[in-house]
Structure 1
Amino acid sequence: MAPMITTIGFDADDTLWQNEAFFRLTQDRFTSLLADYAETSHLHDRLLAAERRNLGHYGFGVKGFTLSMIETAIEVTEARVPASVIAELIAAGREMLAHPIELLPHAAEAVAELARDHRVILITKGDLLDQERKLAQSGLGDLFHAVEIVSDKTARAYETIFSRHGDGACRALMVGNSLKSDVIPVLDAGGWGAHVPHGLTWALEHAEAPAHHPRFLTLSDLSELADKVELIKATHNI
């Protein structure tokens, strides 16, 4: 009998290491710099709107976020934002790109344990250079059989990745903190989706949990992952 799951995909940001917390800190800095022009809630709404409309132009990641902050600053000040504020926003973006990696609990152990008997793939979206930097600093790079940095996570993307590096989406499980990006698309592709909630989630990544889907599971943290995979394989051998 062949095991149902042969390949494990791992998301990176806020699954293996901290990410959203740094965006929130920078957003707080942004609202502080523009406090004389608009209320905090209004600035948050305008920034989120800019991020949403800019995704198709800049993609995901720090660079797009920085450009969206600058754009929003120009808009809410009616082009009167001081150059010094723009310079601070650019500096804040650079600081985010240089921030040391902070692994989340059980991340290294989970990847190492699953890598012994499965193909493990890092599947992340965002800026190529930044994601490569974070992976290199994480110390996890040698554990992965493949790394895929994609512009977006769709059912088609998962089908392609798991066919290229595994036995197809039907024999793959994707692990991540985002229901919208890490779980729902891989379920649509015929695979398994494991949700590992993070305390902070970007507003554009919110989605309803597919609670009744037979291939959906939720973990309290990554320490549960290996046991869950073994349970799935024990009960779904073909």
Structure 2
Amino acid sequence: MTGNLTTIGFDADDTLWHNERFFRVTQDRFAELLQDHTPVELDRTALDHKLLAAEKRNLGRYGYGVKGFTLSMVETAIEVTDQQVPASVIQELIVAGQMMLSYPIELLPHAQKAVEQLAASHRVVLVTKGDLLDQERKLAQSGLGDLFDAVEIVSEKTPETYHEIFTRHGEGPERAMMVGNSMRSDVVPLITAGGWGTYVPHGLVWEVEYAEAPKDSPRYNAIEDLGQLPALITRIEDGL
């Protein structure tokens, strides 16, 4: 281990592989299934807001991931139809959720090369939220599992969580960097804990994960894609 940084943490969904687009496809299916069972004044925007409110409400109950999303779709369908939604529609929503658990993994550009390159010189840790079994499935299918020194599937990404993870798997948050597409979960909390946060935009961002960029922090960086990550780390370690 050399330089200022000894441990690099990677987010998984929409940082290493595609994920949010499957939620968007399923949400379109949700709207399609309900269009004949909801009042005419409930347009697509209003329906999306109802579903988002249910998702936020249920995070403390079900956590992040497909299962919570599926239950939120069912709950919203019951709510917006005044409990008149047909059982066949509920069944279709469950099937749509199950399909999300079987979509093949597609790595994002430069993901494999970046992890391989950094694994040769740093500890690399995967830190992700979501359903335990689904995250384990995606990691296994990604082909990246053997590159990580540790894998942490957590219920929430907080400064305290990062402090514990990077102390256990590294030399504390001060010598760690977290890389991800969520400003709220991947970047801001580790900077708050004293580490480095690097934002990699994905394009599709769940509203819950939005936060302002900590542009005043000297430990905040943004890159266009993971192909730029090794050079960024080199510059940081060289004090440039």
- TM-score after normalising by structure 1: 0.98
Matched residues in 2 for 1:46 and 1:130: separation? Answer: 25
**Is residue 198 from structure 1 mapped to residue 176 from structure 2 by the alignment?**
no
Once the two structures are superposed, residues 172-221 of structure 1 have per-residue CA deviations (whole angstroms, 9 ceiling, x without a partner) of 00000000000000000000000000110001001111112100000000
Matched residues in 2 for 1:8 and 1:206: separation? Answer: 22
Aligned mate of 1:85, from 74, 89, 103: 89
**Is residue 140 from structure 1 mapped to residue 167 from structure 2 by the alignment?**
no
Q: CA deviation at 1:35?
A: 1.2
Q: Give unmatched runs, 5+ long, in structure 2.
A: none
Correspondence for 1:6: 6
What is the total number of aligned residue pairs between the two structures? 236
Aligned mate of 2:102, from 76, 91, 98: 98
Once the two structures are superposed, residues 87-135 of structure 1 have per-residue CA deviations (whole angstroms, 9 ceiling, x without a partner) of 0000000000011001000000000000000000000011100000000
AA partner of residue 144 (structure 1): F
Once the two structures are superposed, residues 14-38 of structure 1 have per-residue CA deviations (whole angstroms, 9 ceiling, x without a partner) of 0000000000000000011111213
Three-state SS of the structure 1 residue aligned to 2:94 is helix
Correspondence for 1:153: 157
Three-state SS of the structure 2 residue aligned to 1:32 is helix
**Is residue 162 from structure 1 mapped to residue 166 from structure 2 by the alignment?**
yes
**Is residue 45 from structure 1 mapped to residue 62 from structure 2 by the alignment?**
no
Three-state SS of the structure 2 residue aligned to 1:235 is coil
Matched residues in 2 for 1:13 and 1:206: separation? Answer: 15
Three-state SS of the structure 1 residue aligned to 2:30 is helix
AA partner of residue 229 (structure 1): I
Correspondence for 1:76: 80
AA partner of residue 89 (structure 2): V
Correspondence for 2:182: 178
**Is residue 18 from structure 1 mapped to residue 18 from structure 2 by the alignment?**
yes
Three-state SS of the structure 2 residue aligned to 1:212 is coil
AA partner of residue 223 (structure 1): G
Aligned mate of 2:115, from 94, 111, 114: 111
Q: CA deviation at 1:3?
A: 1.5
Correspondence for 1:189: 193
Correspondence for 2:32: 32
Correspondence for 2:235: 231
CA RMSD of aligned residues (A): 1.0
Q: CA deviation at 1:39?
A: 1.4
Q: Give unmatched runs, 5+ long, in structure 1.
A: none
Once the two structures are superposed, residues 146-178 of structure 1 have per-residue CA deviations (whole angstroms, 9 ceiling, x without a partner) of 000000000000000000000000000000000
AA partner of residue 112 (structure 2): A
Three-state SS of the structure 1 residue aligned to 2:17 is coil
Q: CA deviation at 1:2?
A: 5.3
Correspondence for 1:215: 219
Matched residues in 2 for 1:9 and 1:2: separation? Answer: 16
Aligned mate of 1:57, from 58, 61, 69: 61
Matched residues in 2 for 1:91 and 1:39: separation? Answer: 24
Matched residues in 2 for 1:35 and 1:185: separation? Answer: 40
Matched residues in 2 for 1:51 and 1:19: separation? Answer: 17
